[in-house]
Amino acid sequence: MKKSQNLPFVSVVVIGRNEEKHLEACFRSIFDMDYPLDKLEILYVDTGSRDQSVNIAKKFNIKIAEEQSNFPSAGLARNRGIEEARYEIIHFVDGDMTADRDYLKSAITMLNKDNIACVIGDVSEQNTDTSFIANVLHYPWRKRNKGFVDAPGAGGTFLRSALREVGGYNPFILKGQETELGFRLRQKGYQIYKVETRMGTHDYAIHDIRSLVKHSYTMGKSYGKILTLPPQQSYSDFIVHARNLLIQGVILLAVILFLLITKKLLFLLAIPVILLIYVTILHLKEYYAHRDWYAPVYYLLMHFSKPIVLCGLLVQLSKHFLNSLSRFFVKR
C-alpha cells in the first residue's frame, strides 16, 4: 500500500452501466494512481447493468450502490455518488475510462483557488489509431487548452459542497449534462479549471456507422426529454437547439416532398452536395484556428447525423405524448 502523505481524502466515484469490458481495467488504474490508498474511498454506482459489471466491482472489495430507473443516465449515477461519498473532494471516473496515474495530485492543488470548484484534465481516446470515427469525435478535446473553461467533461474532480449547492447533475439530460452543470456552477460564482495533465483514457465505443447511429439517436432522445421538462435557463441552449432541429427537419421534409412531387430528382440529389459545401466553408475557420483537419470533418459528421438525432427526438416526444394521454384517460 502506498504510504499516506499530507494529502486530502478523496472519494473516487466510478459510474457504469453494462461496462463489463472496461470495468476491471478502470478499477485497476484507480488502485495504481500515485495517491495514498488510505486517503481514497472508491465507490461504484451501477445504473441497471444486465451484464457482469456489479460482480466485477465486487471483486475489488469496494463500496457498491445500485440505482434503478426507467431513465438511467450518467447524471443520475453521479448524483447517487454525491449522496454516498464520504469526503468533500469527489473525483468522478466513467466506467469506460482508465484513470491516469498522475492526474489526481495535480487536480487537488487547484481546487478552492480562485473559487475553483471543479478541475478536469486532458482525455485521450483509446481507439484513435484504429478508428477514423473515434479520431473525428475526439476533436473537441484536442482543442481544449489549459485554463478556465465553461464546463467539465468526462467526469472530473469536484468540491462536493459546490455540487450540492447547485443541486447536482440534471438526471434527465443524457448527452450534454456536464455543459448544463457548468452553467449552474458558473452562475453561483464557481470556476472550472483544466490542467495540462492527462485525466484518463476513454473508449467512446463509436467505431463504426452502427455505433455512431446509436450515439446520435441517444442524443436525440436527450433533446426530446429536455423539451418535455419545465424550461430552465441552464439548458435554454439545448431547448433552442432542439427546436431548431425540429424546424430544420420540417423544412427539409417539405423541400424533399416538393422535389419528389415536381419530379426534380436532380435537385434532390444536389441537397447533400450543397450541404457538404456549406458546412465545409462554414467551419474552415476551425481548421485554421487549431490546425486540425479533423475540425471540418467533425462538423460535417454532426450535420449529417441530424436526421438520426431528429428521429430520437421525435420518438422521445411521442413516448411522452402517449404517456400523458394514458394518464389522462386513467384519471377520467
Taking only the tens of pLDDT, the chain with its 332 residues reads 455 568 999 999 999 999 999 999 999 999 999 999 999 999 999 999 999 999 999 999 999 999 998 889 999 999 999 999 999 999 999 999 999 999 999 999 999 888 999 999 999 988 777 778 888 888 888 878 889 999 999 999 999 999 999 999 999 998 889 999 999 999 999 999 999 999 999 987 887 888 889 989 999 999 999 999 998 888 899 999 999 999 988 988 888 888 888 888 777 778 778 877 877 777 777 666 666 677 778 888 888 898 999 999 999 999 989 888 887 677 66
Superfamily in which the 10-202 domain is placed by CATH: Spore Coat Polysaccharide Biosynthesis Protein SpsA; Chain A (3.90.550.10)
Which of 76-80's residues contact partners 24+ apart within 8 Å by CB, and which partners?
Answer: 76/47, 76/169, 76/171, 77/15, 77/16, 77/17, 77/45, 77/46, 77/47, 78/13, 78/15, 78/45, 78/168, 78/169, 79/168, 79/169, 79/171, 80/45
pLDDT at residue number 304: 84
pLDDT at residue number 257: 87
Q: How many CA atoms lie within 13 A of 240 on its CB side?
A: 6
pLDDT at residue number 79: 97
What residue ranges do the domains of the chain occupy? 10-202, 209-331
pLDDT at residue number 130: 76
pLDDT at residue number 281: 78
Strands 89-94 and 191-202 come out as: unpaired
pLDDT at residue number 1: 44
pLDDT at residue number 144: 81
pLDDT at residue number 30: 97
Q: What is the dihedral of CA 211, 134, 97, 221, to 10 degrees?
A: -40
